[in-house]
């Protein structure tokens, strides 16, 4: 194992990189230029690589410096949140759960997945939505306690992640009242006669739906594709077309979007997962999620 580097030296390097030069960094740090320069050289000696190279009258990052800056950004940006987190914890004791939500998951489904923890009296729930790869990176850096997704975590030799099944739901076709009479006869083949709204291919469900339509010989007339599930349902409720949704959230879906169930996509199911960094889950609220829905 190599010699551990000094985090103070890393901080000076980070400021120099952000300010674009040693002189400006020294002004920001209120230190002598020679002192800042010496601290950066110490870090370079510890790491065994040059982090800066001359560029005109200033400095530019080497490839090693660019790699070091990415790590330093993560370390010090996370560190900047420490005082606020400590202050909040001291002033308002609570059980904090930071959840990453894959943007492929329907919002109504997310609410149901989180239902087992919502009665926690001192709960502080933080929900962050994004693409699965980005959320898994934050999970690996311990910025998140758990990630909810419609697919298990992909295999990654650099990050050990564990996917815990939360359940699954049948998929049904929904839409405004105007489509009911047209679809009632000869369903599901009658779907070829109406416009369809589908999720984009970033969802696991889209591939299953495409296969299902092909298996039934339905030449789909797709008039809209949506990354955001709530937007898909909003356009569907306006009468633009018929759309698929998890029947798990049937009651909320019908009430909130004023649509009706038009038929089942037999054999198509949406799966739900809680992804964490531990095989044996430690966080009490994540344990409750698994116990409540697994």
169-269: CATH homologous superfamily?
A: Periplasmic binding protein-like II (3.40.190.10)
In sequence order, what are the beta bridge partners of 153?
A: none
Per-residue pLDDT, 1: 40
HEC assignment per residue over 23-65:
HHHHHHHCCCHHHHHHHHHHHHHHHCCCCEEEECCEEEECHHH
93-167+273-293: CATH topology is D-Maltodextrin-Binding Protein; domain 2 (3.40.190)
Q: How far apart are CA 161 and CA 137, in angstroms?
A: 10
Decide if 102 contacts 203 (C-beta within 8 A): no
Positions in the chain short of pLDDT 50: 1, 294
- In this structure, whether the domain defined by 7-80 belongs to CATH 1.10.3720.10 is answered with no
Its sign, for the CA torsion 271, 169, 236, 103, is: negative
Per-residue pLDDT, 294: 44
| Domain residue extents for the chain | 7-80, 93-167+273-293, 169-269
Decide if 267 contacts 94 (C-beta within 8 A): no
Q: How far apart are CA 136 and CA 146, in angstroms?
A: 9
Domains 93-167+273-293 and 169-269 share a fold: yes
């Amino acid at each position: 194992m190599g010699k551990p580097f000094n985090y103070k030296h890393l901080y000076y390097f980070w400021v120099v990189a952000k300010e674009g030069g040693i002189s400006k960094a020294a002004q920001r740090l209120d230190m002598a230029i020679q002192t800042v320069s010496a601290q950066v050289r110490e870090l370079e000696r510890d790491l065994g690589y040059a982090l800066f190279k001359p560029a005109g009258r200033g400095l530019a990052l080497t490839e090693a410096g660019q790699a070091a800056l990415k790590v330093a950004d993560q370390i010090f940006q996370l560190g900047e949140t420490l005082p606020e987190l400590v202050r909040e914890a001291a002033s308002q004791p609570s059980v904090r759960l930071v959840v990453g939500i894959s943007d492929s998951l329907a919002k109504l489904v997310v609410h149901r997945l989180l239902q087992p923890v919502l009665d926690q009296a001192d709960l502080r729930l933080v929900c962050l939505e994004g693409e699965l790869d980005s959320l898994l990176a934050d999970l690996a850096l311990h910025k998140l306690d758990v990630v909810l997704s419609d697919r298990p975590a992909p295999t990654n030799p650099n990050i050990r992640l564990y996917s815990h099944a939360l359940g699954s739901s049948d998929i049904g076709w929904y839409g405004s009242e105007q489509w009911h009479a047209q679809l009632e006869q000869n369903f599901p083949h009658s779907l070829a006669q109406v416009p369809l709204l589908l999720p984009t291919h970033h969802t696991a469900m889209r591939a299953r739906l495409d296969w299902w339509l092909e298996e039934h010989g339905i030449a789909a007339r797709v008039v809209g594709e949506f990354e955001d599930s709530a937007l898909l349902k909003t356009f569907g409720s306006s009468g633009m077309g018929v759309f698929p949704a998890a029947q798990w959230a049937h009651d909320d879906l019908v009430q909130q979007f004023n649509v009706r169930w038009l038929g089942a996509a037999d054999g198509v199911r949406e799966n739900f997962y809680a992804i964490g960094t531990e095989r044996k889950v430690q966080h009490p609220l994540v344990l409750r999620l698994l116990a409540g829905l697994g």
